[in-house]
Amino acid sequence: MYKTLCIIAACMLLSASVLSAQTAEENAVSDTIEIPDRPEFDLPVISIDDIEGDAESHDISSLLQGSRDVFVSTAGFTFGQARFRIRGYDSENTTVMINGIPVNDPETGRAFYSNWGGLNDATRMTVTHDGIGVARENFGGIGGATNIITRASQYSPNTRVTFSNSNRSYAHRAMFTHSTGMQDNGWALTLSGSRRIAQEGQGYVEGTFYDAWGYFLSAERKINNQHSLGLIAFGAPSETGRPGVATQEAYDLTGNNFYNPNWGFQNGEARNSRVNSYHTPWIMLNHYYDPTPDIAIQTSAAYTFGKGSSSALNWFDGERPFPGQFEGHDPRPDYYRYLPSFYANDPVRFDQYTQLWQNDETFRQLNWDLMYQYNLKNLYTQADVDGIAGNNIEGLRSKFIVEDRRNDRNQFVFNSFANAQLNSTTFLSGGINISLAKTHQYKLIDDLLGGDWWVDIDQFALRDATDLDFAQNDLQQPNRLVGEGDRFGYDFTGNINKFEAFAQSEWVLPRWDFYVAGNVSQTTFWRTGHMQNGRFPENSLGDSEKQNFTNFGLKGGTTFKFTGRHYFTANAAYLTRAPFFRDAYISSRVRDDLIPVLNSETIMSGDLSYIVRTPIVKSRLTMFFSEFQDQTWSRSFYHEEFRTFVNYSMYGVDQRHMGVELGMDINLSSTLSMSLVGGTGDYIYSSRPTVTITRDNDRELLAEEKTVYWKNFKVGGMTHTAGSVGLRYNSPRFWFIGTNLNYYDDIYLDINPDRRTADALASFVESDPGWESIIAQEQLDNAFTLDFFGGKSWRIARRYFINLNISVSNALDNTDFRIGGFEQLRYDSNNIDRFPAKYFYMYGRTYFINLAFRM
């Protein structure tokens, strides 16, 4: 880390010395100060498959439309393939807006690009404030704020048709966009639509598929010079078959680092068990009011609704459906009991399972046909259906089903903000936002796989229950038989209401710029249960107690304009944030019990930058620091020691993020340019959190106020260090070609907190080799990748334009580069290899071809 920081700093100092000859004569500051460029998009909301290859997006080194911050563009598109995050932040630290309306998910705080996926042409106009800084529509987050402008009058009149081909997530894409611009009759209209598709087997990972649409409408009516009304509606329905993640043993046995355990053949056709389906359209009504040339007020009302679902297998009293009778009940092919390593002490079975994995394709896939066979022969009589004595029903009781885990959302948003230029030096901004959201979460029977019904009871609770009522998922309908399309398991609504107001002032002086901003918010959330759970009959049905949090934020910064080409900036922020609904409850699926200590999170952050803007070099060097305190961490999993499904609630989680970013764009000649980009960070857990462990299927407290010793462990699941050197040649004949050489390092696994507790190490002494194998955090190998890109544009009859763009990522086809992974939460301290880590690999050689026509 220290070595990397020194290298980056030395590169920037070298560039400064090269520039000194150009700027020595700049002894005075000009009347017009060049404002440092700001990037136009942010990493958390970018999908490289969707952005890459757009008509105006020519390469990988500098893809952002209108953006000249080479670090942000490279981090978003090149480094993003290796799970690099700018400053190590999750997307809840970045505020994403569409036409000034925040669209971050109220339950998790995260921004999901998929809500408008495929609508690239309609969402290409953005105003992005990177990191802490000035944002005139909202207070923003420490990761910045992005406003996607979709006002109809802002689109240039044109028609665009785009076709794409790729071997990544989808194989084919088609897009159409038409904009009228503001017409003489006072109307402006933009329409856009898209289609993205990959059949089973066309995606990079076997067994996956992609089926997505996108639609967009923006209409505006100019009433007079002061008032306009706008209507915006968009959505992006999608259905995708998911890739899986596996242990290295499974990858090695199959000879494929992209082995996918989620699929198998049914009647000769590939079928994926893990299918995501999302459609959450937005409708926005906007009023634009400009009372004077120096004042602008925008007031909006918005509504979003729709569904989010993820399918998965479920089973009850089942057997592993594959040829041959082996012990086990889990139908997933990579279940640990079906791997050779489980039989390390039994050479006969070890060889038997190894041969099956390597030579029998059906063994390492889901066997849908046999699941049907087991269900079709399971004739069963269910007694006392619906709690009615003697109401016995005979039928085919499914042992295996496909369930659909739903998260349906309804949200109303009222948003208003104003910007005012008071005088030549002072600019004021302020606004309010009201959000009323409901997230309805439940399970549906998607496919009974040949059976007649499923019994709505909890199998984990049934195993330990002496009273059958205890195992009921809904006491109001005991022994309920559910069919396809019926709700079962759990059913509740998360209610999340939030009010926020912010104010900001900016001052622009000859040598200095300053700004200061503040916000205040009130968050209220509660759970509404729609089932009376047999394990928690008193606190599962109806409204829970409301939780209220009042929070605030302060930020400020300054820019020193050393010359018209050299700038120094400093920013700082202090804010508190209410806990997110998803993290607040021990098990919101079945009860309204809160985690033991529920506090607002505190965030402190700051950064220092040196920015250079000359005709030859554009560069930015930034040092940043952030501290997150009092986070919560909640997971549910099967605990090997307690032999049951548990809820693992951890509080008092602190993180510290610090590091350096460097981006340089150098014009070597009128046709040749070079980019130097590097980012490195030290992202660690900076506290010893406290954890409470409860049994999921009853009220038993398994562990209380247990200390997790993970202070100074790395925040895993992402790349901490990345660098890139890029070259690009721009021909005067309207074609270009280029390449990037990329380097990745400091990649750590996400760690299991329970392995860093006193109980996990109770049977070891510190000198025991088992001690280190349990607590050590795995660092993955570093790697290089090489990318190529190129394109050509044609103008026909002075009004038609054709753009062709081609890119190849990981051109050397490095398929052994592990870009992340995680320790399984289930583990055995006496045999740590029993539940080994699971890994993600970077895709090998992939391509993207984009052809666009515009008139």
Q: Cα separation of 802 and 124, whole Å?
A: 18
Strand order in the sheet with 838-841: 246-247, 838-841, 818-822
| Range with lowest mean pLDDT among 300-314, 344-358, 421-435, 818-832 | 818-832
Asked if 88 contacts 627 with a C-beta cutoff of 8 angstroms, the reply is: no
Helix (H/G/I), strand (E/B), else coil: 394 = strand
Asked if 138 contacts 103 with a C-beta cutoff of 8 angstroms, the reply is: no
Q: Cα separation of 98 and 283, whole Å?
A: 11
Q: What 8-state DSSP symbol labels residue 118?
A: T
Q: Cα separation of 200 and 428, whole Å?
A: 54
Task: Look over the chain and give the mean of its residue pLDDT values, rounded to a whole number.
Answer: 90
Q: Average pLDDT in the 844-850 region?
A: 97
Whether residue 330 is contained in a domain is answered as no
Q: Cα separation of 413 and 97, whole Å?
A: 12
pTM of the model: 0.90
Q: Average pLDDT in the 736-755 region?
A: 97
pLDDT at residue number 37:
31
Q: SS3 sequence, 285-303?
A: EEEEEEEECCEEEEEEEEE
Scanning the structure block, which residue is given the tokens 């990959």? 198
Torsion angle in degrees (nearest 10) through CA of 416, 421, 427, 430: -10
Whether residue 605 is contained in a domain is answered as yes
End-to-end CA distance of the chain: 50
Taking Cα atoms as reference points, which of 147, 165, 198 lies closest to residue 42? 147
Q: Cα separation of 150 and 169, whole Å?
A: 27
Whether residue 828 is contained in a domain is answered as yes
Whether residue 606 is contained in a domain is answered as yes
Helix (H/G/I), strand (E/B), else coil: 116 = helix
Query: Which bin fits 705, alpha (ψ -120 to 50), beta or left (φ > 0)?
Result: left
Scanning the structure block, which residue is given the tokens 């066309």? 202
**DSSP strand E in 170-252: where?**
172-179, 187-198, 209-222, 227-235, 238-241, 246-247
Q: Cα separation of 810 and 799, whole Å?
A: 37
**Count of CB atoms situated within 10 Å of the CB of 292:** 9
If you write DSSP's letter for every residue of 32-60 in order, what string do you get?
SPPPPP--S--GGG--HHHHTT-TT---S
Task: Quote the tokens at residue 775.
Answer: 């607590």
**Count of CB atoms situated within 10 Å of the CB of 224:** 7
Scanning the structure block, which residue is given the tokens 């901490």? 720
Model confidence pLDDT, tens digit, residues 283-292? 999 999 999 9
**Count of CB atoms situated within 10 Å of the CB of 765:** 8
Is the pLDDT confidence value at 183 over 90?
A: yes
Residue 146's Cβ-side half-sphere holds a number of Cα atoms within 13 Å equal to: 28
Residue 184 to residues 154, 190, 663: CA-CA distances in angstroms? 15, 16, 44
Q: Cα separation of 847 and 809, whole Å?
A: 6
Q: Cα separation of 450 and 690, whole Å?
A: 46
Q: Cα separation of 95 and 42, whole Å?
A: 10
Model confidence pLDDT, tens digit, residues 5-35? 454 444 444 444 444 434 333 333 333 222 2
| Maximum Cα–Cα distance across the chain | 98
At position 692, the amino acid (one-letter code) is T
Q: pLDDT-derived band of residue 771, with 50, 70 and 90 as boundaries?
A: confident
Taking Cα atoms as reference points, which of 60, 127, 103 lies closest to residue 850? 60
At position 324, the amino acid (one-letter code) is G
pLDDT at residue number 505:
98
Q: Angle CA(765)–CA(695)–CA(689) in degrees, nearest 5?
A: 50
Is the pLDDT confidence value at 321 over 50?
A: no
Q: Cα separation of 402 and 275, whole Å?
A: 10
Residue 504: alpha-carbon gap to chain centroid: 29
Is the pLDDT confidence value at 323 over 70?
A: no
Torsion angle in degrees (nearest 10) through CA of 110, 111, 115, 118: -140
Whether residue 366 is contained in a domain is answered as no
Asked if 823 contacts 798 with a C-beta cutoff of 8 angstroms, the reply is: no
Q: Cα separation of 668 and 509, whole Å?
A: 34
If you write DSSP's letter for every residue of 726-748 in order, what string do you get?
EEEEE-TTSEEEEEEEEEEEEEE
Asked if 198 contacts 170 with a C-beta cutoff of 8 angstroms, the reply is: yes
Asked if 194 contacts 170 with a C-beta cutoff of 8 angstroms, the reply is: no
* Phi, psi of 466, deg, nearest 5: -100, -15
**DSSP strand E in 597-697: where?**
601-613, 617-639, 644-667, 672-685, 690-695
Q: Give percent of the chain above pLDDT 70.
A: 91
Taking Cα atoms as reference points, which of 606, 656, 600, 607 lies closest to residue 628? 656
Model confidence pLDDT, tens digit, residues 143-178? 999 999 999 999 999 999 999 999 999 999 999 999
Whether residue 332 is contained in a domain is answered as no
Q: SS3 sequence, 173-194?
A: EEEEEEECCCCCCCEEEEEEEE
pLDDT at residue number 47:
38
Is the pLDDT confidence value at 40 over 70?
A: no
Asked if 752 contacts 824 with a C-beta cutoff of 8 angstroms, the reply is: yes
User: In which domain, by residue range, is 679 found?
Assistant: 2-315+403-854
Model confidence pLDDT, tens digit, residues 757-768? 998 888 888 778
Is the pLDDT confidence value at 57 over 80?
A: no
Task: Quote the tokens at residue 528.
Answer: 């509404």
Helix (H/G/I), strand (E/B), else coil: 605 = strand
Taking Cα atoms as reference points, which of 337, 365, 367 lies closest to residue 353? 337
Q: Cα separation of 80 and 538, whole Å?
A: 46
Q: pLDDT-derived band of residue 320, with 50, 70 and 90 as boundaries?
A: very low
Q: Average pLDDT in the 306-333 region?
A: 73
Residue 17: alpha-carbon gap to chain centroid: 40
**Count of CB atoms situated within 10 Å of the CB of 508:** 16
At position 700, the amino acid (one-letter code) is E
Taking Cα atoms as reference points, which of 773, 758, 783 lies closest to residue 836? 773
Helix (H/G/I), strand (E/B), else coil: 487 = strand
Q: Give percent of the chain above pLDDT 90.
A: 80
Q: Which residues contact 791 (CB under 8 A, 6 or more apart)?
A: 58, 59, 735, 736, 803, 804, 805, 806
Q: Can you give the CATH number for the domain in which 742 is found? A: 2.40.170.20
Is the pLDDT confidence value at 783 over 50?
A: yes
Model confidence pLDDT, tens digit, residues 575-625? 999 999 999 999 999 999 999 999 999 999 999 999 999 999 999 999 999
**Count of CB atoms situated within 10 Å of the CB of 847:** 15
Determine how β-strand 379-382 pairs with β-strand 269-272: unpaired
Is the pLDDT confidence value at 193 over 50?
A: yes
**Count of CB atoms situated within 10 Å of the CB of 233:** 14
pLDDT at residue number 767:
78
Q: Cα separation of 658 and 91, whole Å?
A: 17
Residue 298's Cβ-side half-sphere holds a number of Cα atoms within 13 Å equal to: 21
Task: Quote the tokens at residue 829.
Answer: 């301290």
> Residue 612: is it exposed, middle or buried by C-beta count within 10 angstroms (0-12/13-18/19+)?
buried
Whether residue 272 is contained in a domain is answered as yes
At position 307, the amino acid (one-letter code) is K
Whether residue 805 is contained in a domain is answered as yes
Tally of structural domains, the chain: 1
Is the pLDDT confidence value at 660 over 50?
A: yes
Is the pLDDT confidence value at 779 over 80?
A: yes
Asked if 147 contacts 127 with a C-beta cutoff of 8 angstroms, the reply is: yes
Q: Cα separation of 205 and 261, whole Å?
A: 11
Model confidence pLDDT, tens digit, residues 60-79? 222 223 346 899 989 988 99
